């Protein structure tokens, strides 16, 4: 039954508007019970869960000093995620992540503060490897600020093909790794990078 916000009117006879008033109370009780404990129960007024419909782009906007929370289906993931916004600044998907890319073990996610963390495993084919985040990671939004070099771990199953590995260069979009491995003996490297 629909809620009637204009009931009762000052001119209404209570005996005639009583059914409409009761309908309003029933509607309010039904709506309140969604995600909440029942009225006059041990959890009345408390949320039992929180259901938020997903909004398509664009995101809601908030005022300075506000914090906004919404579900939004937008880039970079293109699927429903929980977005956090701080005032008028652009929000970020707090639950946004993606796995896969050039390697099924590759992936990235947002940490609760909006910091991005990316990881992956790549093969160094002939002693040198240039990793481009956008090519290695599915739907990666990219770093706007990079916090130091990526962390690297050499995986040399044969234990004889590479004696060392070093990071030659890094930017917000790529990094270059070198080893002394020959072209016939590629080795793998796992990596992790953190930034905004």
Let me know whether 176 and 106 are in one domain.
yes
The SS3 assignment for 21 reads helix
Pull the structure tokens for residue 22. 């009761």
Let me know whether 84 and 107 are in one domain.
no
pLDDT digits 0-9 by tens, 121-157: 998 887 889 999 999 998 898 998 877 899 999 887 7
Let me know whether 82 and 108 are in one domain.
no
Would you state the pLDDT for residue 57? Answer: 74
Let me know whether 124 and 57 are in one domain.
no
Last residue of a domain, one of 42, 76, 93: 93
Let me know whether 103 and 79 are in one domain.
no
Residue 175: give the domain boundaries.
96-195
Neighbours of 39 (CB within 10 A): 11
Let me know whether 146 and 134 are in one domain.
yes
Would you state the pLDDT for residue 84? Answer: 87
Let me know whether 82 and 164 are in one domain.
no
Let me know whether 80 and 105 are in one domain.
no
The Cα angle at residue 101 between residues 99 and 107, in degrees rounded to 5:
30
Would you state the pLDDT for residue 42? Answer: 87
Let me know whether 44 and 58 are in one domain.
no
Let me know whether 88 and 149 are in one domain.
no
Residue 3 · residue 29 · CB < 8 Å: no
Residue ranges of the chain with pLDDT lower than 70? 1, 158-162, 182-185
Q: Is 21 left (phi over 0), alpha (psi -120 to 50) or beta?
A: alpha
- How many structural domains comprise the chain? 3
Let me know whether 85 and 102 are in one domain.
no
Last residue of a domain, one of 93, 118, 152: 93
Residue 129 · residue 177 · CB < 8 Å: yes
Q: Is 40 left (phi over 0), alpha (psi -120 to 50) or beta?
A: left
Q: Give the number of residues written for the chain.
A: 196
Sign, CA dihedral 128-149-141-98, equals positive
DSSP 145: S
CATH number of the domain encompassing residue 134: 2.60.40.3940
Would you state the pLDDT for residue 174? Answer: 94
Let me know whether 152 and 87 are in one domain.
no
């Amino acid at each position: 039954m629909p809620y009637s916000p204009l009931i009762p009117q000052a001119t209404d006879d209570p005996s005639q508007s009583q059914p409409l008033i009761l309908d309003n109370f029933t509607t309010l009780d039904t709506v309140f019970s969604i995600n909440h404990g029942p009225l006059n129960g041990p959890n009345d007024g408390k949320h039992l869960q929180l259901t938020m419909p997903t909004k398509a782009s664009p995101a809601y906007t908030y005022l300075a000093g506000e914090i906004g929370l919404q579900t939004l289906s937008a880039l970079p993931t293109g699927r429903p995620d929980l977005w956090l916004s701080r005032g008028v600044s652009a929000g970020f998907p707090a639950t946004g992540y993606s796995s896969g890319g050039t390697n099924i073990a590759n992936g990235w996610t947002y940490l609760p503060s909006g910091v991005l963390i990316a990881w992956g495993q790549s093969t160094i084919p002939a002693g040198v490897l240039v990793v481009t985040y956008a090519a290695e990671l599915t739907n990666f939004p990219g770093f706007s600020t990079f916090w130091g070099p990526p962390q690297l771990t050499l995986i040399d199953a044969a234990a004889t093909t590479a004696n060392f590995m070093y990071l030659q260069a890094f930017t917000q979009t790529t990094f270059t790794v070198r080893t002394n491995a020959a072209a016939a003996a590629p080795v793998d490297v796992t990596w992790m990078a953190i930034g905004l």
